[in-house]
């Protein structure tokens, strides 16, 4: 096994330059959900290709019907080392409401906060630009120190992760041979806490649906028509309020098909992590678990399915008051899936449930936004064991194997389409405010993240 100490030292010494590169990438407004930023997404992809080429990767921007992919290849020093595919995404979430940001989301900077902690501020610093660069910078440290990478690396960067990855499946299908490796490394997840790295062995799936309820053929004066004309906001409220019963369970018929109870020993391990409802929810100003009764917050967010309304709008929402009955109202609803829940069946069950609540003289339309099943990596995997040891060497506390509430559809696609398992390692923290105003990434996450990949690549190469 290569002596990795010089590589680690080089990674740490390079941090100022690594940060400059991260800043360049964060300044590119690659918001994939908003068509206004289409050109910025391409610019981010082109920036990444340029960087990877400078490291000796055979890197290209690859067009899709949506935002482009970045694909890059690099040989490994050892013939018997595995071939790994590294995945990240260069697109970011929208930044509204902009007035809640303390700093320009696209003007990143390192700032010192309480306790001397240093954070990198800006949209995408944590999700996922800072994370994906930890791997790129680890490769750089290898190249600049030993002139080679310890194993063969293929890189895939996506630009549509925040908008349901519409181009991903066709792209994987069309380029299966080129992209198939021994396994995938995915860096889009969090640490357990600031000292404890985590490997996510379970990932919830996701089904997104937008529904638009239409009633009258125009907005109405609520004085003239109120009490007789259907109000689409009432219909929508009724639909959404009926999604959960009084115990917090989702009411859709068949919703829990394929959901298994978490094994007792797993639940016991999670209990030891000591995340009480108070500490988990206290961080965000809450204290009472809102979902299914009688389950811990870790179980609720890692191992139980949900239905959440992510957005709703209808009628007059400006300043002041307008006594209108709206012609239509709409909501964006997402379901987090676990176990063997079938995204297509969940979508169908939701649509049938909604249709049954729509009066005969009104109508509803549905718009699908992404769908992916849940994923579970076997707890006894060798891959998982090597990564756990490598991470435990870098950080103050040993790595833990946890569940994950969020969805990373790519992991399911890698499994189904390319036959690859994925190792989910990330250095985000729960206070990174991803998807929210004031997103940040700890400077420590960035530096020790880079060093962690140096160690993991060495461990994986040493088979």
Residue 287 C-beta: closest distance to a second copy, Å: 4
Q: According to CB under 8 A, which one of 16, 35, 116, 253 is a site residue for a second copy?
A: 35
Per CB under 8 A, which region of 50-58, 143-151, 290-298, 442-450 contacts a second copy?
A: 290-298
Q: Phi and psi at residue 172, in whole multiples of 5°?
A: -65, -40
Interface pattern 385-404 for a second copy (x via CB under 8 A): -------------------x
Q: Phi and psi at residue 396, in whole multiples of 5°?
A: -60, -35
Residue 347 C-beta: closest distance to a second copy, Å: 14
According to the binding rule CB under 8 A, does residue 422 interact with a second copy? no
Query: What part of residues 51-80 is at the interface with a second copy (CB under 8 A)?
Result: none
Q: Phi and psi at residue 264, in whole multiples of 5°?
A: -55, -40
Q: According to CB under 8 A, which one of 150, 159, 291, 426 is a site residue for a second copy?
A: 291
Interface pattern 142-161 for a second copy (x via CB under 8 A): --------------------
Asked whether 122 and 107 are in contact (CB, 8 A), the reply is yes
Q: According to CB under 8 A, which one of 18, 30, 93, 145 is a site residue for a second copy?
A: 93
Length of the chain: 463
Instruction: Specify the residue, 243 or 454, whose C-beta has the smaller distance to a second copy.
Output: 243
Residue 432 C-beta: closest distance to a second copy, Å: 9
Instruction: Specify the residue, 145 or 190, whose C-beta has the smaller distance to a second copy.
Output: 190
Q: According to CB under 8 A, which one of 50, 53, 322, 463 is a site residue for a second copy?
A: 322
Q: According to CB under 8 A, which one of 119, 151, 187, 220 is a site residue for a second copy?
A: 220
Please give the biggest Cα pair distance in the chain.
81
Size of the site for a second copy (CB under 8 A): 103
- Distance of alpha carbon 403 from alpha carbon 339, whole angstroms: 12
Q: Can you point out the beta strands (E) in 97-204?
A: 109-112, 118-121, 152-158, 183-186, 198-203
Per CB under 8 A, which region of 28-36, 51-59, 345-353, 419-427 contacts a second copy?
A: 28-36
Residue 238 C-beta: closest distance to a second copy, Å: 5
Tell me the CA distances in angstroms from 30 to 19, 89, 158, 441, one per residue in order. 18, 10, 11, 17
According to the binding rule CB under 8 A, does residue 28 interact with a second copy? no
Q: Phi and psi at residue 360, in whole multiples of 5°?
A: -60, -25
> Which two structure tokens, joined as six digits, stand for 264?
């007792």
Asked whether 374 and 130 are in contact (CB, 8 A), the reply is no
Instruction: Specify the residue, 204 or 455, whose C-beta has the smaller distance to a second copy.
Output: 204
Q: Can you point out the beta strands (E) in 323-419?
A: 324-325, 328-337, 363-372, 375-376, 400-404
- Residue 329 CB partners (closer than 8 Å, separation 6+): 212, 213, 232, 233, 235, 236, 312, 313, 314, 315
Strand order of the β-sheet with 118-121 is 109-112, 118-121, 440-442
According to the binding rule CB under 8 A, does residue 284 interact with a second copy? yes
Per CB under 8 A, which region of 115-123, 258-266, 285-293, 388-396 contacts a second copy?
A: 285-293
Interface pattern 108-147 for a second copy (x via CB under 8 A): ----------------------------------------
**Beta strands 152-158 and 363-372, pairing class:** unpaired
Instruction: Specify the residue, 306 or 452, whose C-beta has the smaller distance to a second copy.
Output: 306
Candidates 271, 266, 205, 267; CA nearest to 409 is 205
Instruction: Specify the residue, 16 or 227, whose C-beta has the smaller distance to a second copy.
Output: 227
According to the binding rule CB under 8 A, does residue 325 interact with a second copy? yes
Residue 91 C-beta: closest distance to a second copy, Å: 11
Residue 452 C-beta: closest distance to a second copy, Å: 21
Residue 133 C-beta: closest distance to a second copy, Å: 20
List the beta bridge partners of residue 158: 89
> Which two structure tokens, joined as six digits, stand for 304?
């139980």
Burial zone of 390 (CB within 10 Å; 0-12 exposed, 13-18 middle, 19+ buried)? buried
Q: According to CB under 8 A, which one of 241, 247, 265, 274 is a site residue for a second copy?
A: 241
CA-based end-to-end distance of the chain: 9
Per CB under 8 A, which region of 72-80, 82-90, 162-170, 262-270 contacts a second copy?
A: 162-170
Query: What part of residues 185-214 is at the interface with a second copy (CB under 8 A)?
Result: 190, 204, 206, 208, 210
Instruction: Specify the residue, 84 or 95, whose C-beta has the smaller distance to a second copy.
Output: 95
Candidates 292, 207, 209; CA nearest to 244 is 292
Q: According to CB under 8 A, which one of 21, 42, 118, 234 is a site residue for a second copy?
A: 234
């Amino acid at each position: 096994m290569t002596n990795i100490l010089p590589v680690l030292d080089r990674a740490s010494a390079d941090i100022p330059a690594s940060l400059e590169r991260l800043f360049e990438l964060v300044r590119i407004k690659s918001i994939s959900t908003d068509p206004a930023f289409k050109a910025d997404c391409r610019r981010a992809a082109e920036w990444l290709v340029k960087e990877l080429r400078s490291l000796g990767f055979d890197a290209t921007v690859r067009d899709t019907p949506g935002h482009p992919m970045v694909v890059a290849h690099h040989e490994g020093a050892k013939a018997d080392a595995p071939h790994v595919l590294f995945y990240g995404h260069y697109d970011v979430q929208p930044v509204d409401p902009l007035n809640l940001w303390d700093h320009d989301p696209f003007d990143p900077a390192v700032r010192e906060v309480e306790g001397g902690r240093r954070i990198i501020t800006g949209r995408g610093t944590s999700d996922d630009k800072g994370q994906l660069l930890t791997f790129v910078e680890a490769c750089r440290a290898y190249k600049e120190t030993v002139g080679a990478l310890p194993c063969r690396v293929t890189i895939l960067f996506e630009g549509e992760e925040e908008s349901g990855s519409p181009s991903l499946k066709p792209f994987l299908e069309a380029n299966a041979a080129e992209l198939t490796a021994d396994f995938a490394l995915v860096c889009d997840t969090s640490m357990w806490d600031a000292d404890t790295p985590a490997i996510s062995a379970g990932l919830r799936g996701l089904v997104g649906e937008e529904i638009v309820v239409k009633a009258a053929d125009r907005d109405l004066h609520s004085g003239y028509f109120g009490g007789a004309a259907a109000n689409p906001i009432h219909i929508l409220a009724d639909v959404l309020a009926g999604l959960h019963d009084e115990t917090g369970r989702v009411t859709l018929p068949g919703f829990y098909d394929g959901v298994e109870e978490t094994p007792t020993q797993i639940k016991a391990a999670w209990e030891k992590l000591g995340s009480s409802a108070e500490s988990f929810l206290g961080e965000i100003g809450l204290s009472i678990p809102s979902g299914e009764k009688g389950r811990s917050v870790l179980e609720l967010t890692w191992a139980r399915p949900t239905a959440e309304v992510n957005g709703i709008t209808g009628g007059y929402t400006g300043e002041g008051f307008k006594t209108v009955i709206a012609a239509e109202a709409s909501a964006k609803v997402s379901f987090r899936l676990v176990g063997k829940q079938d995204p297509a069946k969940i979508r169908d069950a939701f649509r049938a449930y909604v249709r049954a609540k729509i009066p005969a003289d009104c109508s509803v339309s549905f718009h699908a936004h992404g769908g992916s099943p849940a994923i579970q990596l076997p707890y006894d995997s060798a891959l998982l064991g090597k990564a756990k040891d490598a991470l435990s060497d870098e950080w103050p506390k040993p790595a833990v194997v946890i569940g994950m509430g969020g969805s990373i559809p790519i992991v399911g696609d890698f499994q189904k389409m390319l036959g690859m398992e994925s190792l989910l390692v990330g250095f985000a923290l729960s206070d990174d405010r991803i998807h929210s105003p004031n997103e940040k990434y700890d400077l420590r996450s960035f530096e020790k993240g880079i060093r962690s990949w140096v160690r993991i690549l060495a461990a994986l190469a040493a088979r």
